[in-house]
Amino acid sequence: MEHPFDLNELYIHEYPGNSNLKPVLFLHGNTQNSTCGTGVIEFFRSKGHRVVVWELPGHGLSKLTVDHYKFSDLVALNSQIIEKYHLQQGLLVGHSIGGMIILASVIERQFDDASLLLMGSLDKNPIEAVKEHNLSDALYMQTSLDSYMEAGDGLFKRQRQYDYFENRHLDDSFTEIFNRRYTQPLANRINLTSLAEYDVREQLSSTPRVMLVLHGAKEEVIPPALVEDMMTHYPWALLEWFPEGGHNAFFQHHELTVTFLKKHYDRLCTNNLSVLRSKAEA
């Protein structure tokens, strides 16, 4: 589980909570930071849960101290944090690439008793997933990503922990400007170009577990059709849509997120996975 990062150079914060409740991890998406999870974090804190958040290298308050790393390094880093803070049986919450890193950690370290909450995320490389359905759409997505990365070089001003939750009224086009203005361009580029081999579907779907997926019905980064296809492989998982939401719906439509969390709270925070698995095997 080696990686090139130094935990002392990263922003990792632990909010204390009731040791009898399932602990929670939140990991943000590419070119954002932990503030986008403020609403989700506060929801679980209000219920008494211990919550751990961390920020990707070059994002928010986490320093970027290396000039090269791979997706597998982020996975190893996340796994180390999960084990350091005893979150192996916790609720692991991730947005976009944060969710992908979490899923890969679950497979790599066999965190089979962890519960999962995915927001605007997928269990395989979105471009490869689109390519299976429509090559022209995949080419369009790749072109869009290339443009996003190239613009990041010019938009970048300085690294800082911009408050996404405080500015959740802004639409995706404005949000994407701030994404690149305050995130290290190198981190953005590496993260978006290192997903080529990411695909955990076969392994993840082999073990029933608590899993809730929240997704924007108007997503463009990860089109809804990909999520609909993904869900067919997880008959024991649950899906909720943000009817008017895009890639950042979970914090832009915070009130609806809270509604979903209240609705599924008991399931997300159960400590009895044997019941779920016995039903799945029946």
The Cα 161–Cα 159 span in angstroms is 7
pLDDT at 161 over 80: yes
The Cα 125–Cα 111 span in angstroms is 21
232/130: higher pLDDT: 232
In a domain, residue 267? The reply is yes
User: How many distinct structural domains can be found in the chain?
Assistant: 1
Question: Which pair of structure tokens corresponds to residue 8?
Answer: 């002392």
In a domain, residue 204? The reply is yes
In a domain, residue 199? The reply is yes
Fill in the DSSP letter of residue 199.
Answer: B
pLDDT tens per residue across span 80-122:
999 999 999 999 999 999 999 999 999 999 999 999 999 999 9
Tracing tokens 């895009």 back to the chain, one arrives at 246
3-state secondary structure of 23: coil
79/2: higher pLDDT: 79
The Cα 214–Cα 237 span in angstroms is 11
The Cα 87–Cα 84 span in angstroms is 8
pLDDT at 123 over 90: yes
Residue (of 236, 237, 206, 195) closest to 107 by Cα position: 206
Question: Which pair of structure tokens corresponds to residue 216?
Answer: 């924007």
* Residue 215 near residue 142 (C-beta atoms within 8 A): no
Q: Looking at residue 266, which CATH number applies to its domain?
A: 3.40.50.1820
Domain membership of residue 194 as a residue range? 7-281
By CB atoms closer than 10 A (0-12, 13-18, 19+), residue 116 is buried
pLDDT, average across residues 142-156: 83
Mean pLDDT of the chain: 93
Fill in the DSSP letter of residue 32.
Answer: -
How far from 242 is each of 94, 116, 167, 245, CA to CA, in Å?
16, 18, 19, 5
pLDDT at 134 over 80: no
Question: What's the confidence (pLDDT) of residue 163?
Answer: 99
Question: Which pair of structure tokens corresponds to residue 26?
Answer: 């939140």
In a domain, residue 227? The reply is yes
DSSP line for 96-129: THHHHHHHHHHHHTT-TT-EEEEES--SB-HHHH
Contacts of 8 (CB under 8 A, 6+ apart): none
pLDDT band of 143, cuts 50, 70, 90: confident
196/183: higher pLDDT: 183
64/146: higher pLDDT: 64
In a domain, residue 1? The reply is no
Question: Which pair of structure tokens corresponds to residue 63?
Answer: 């320093």
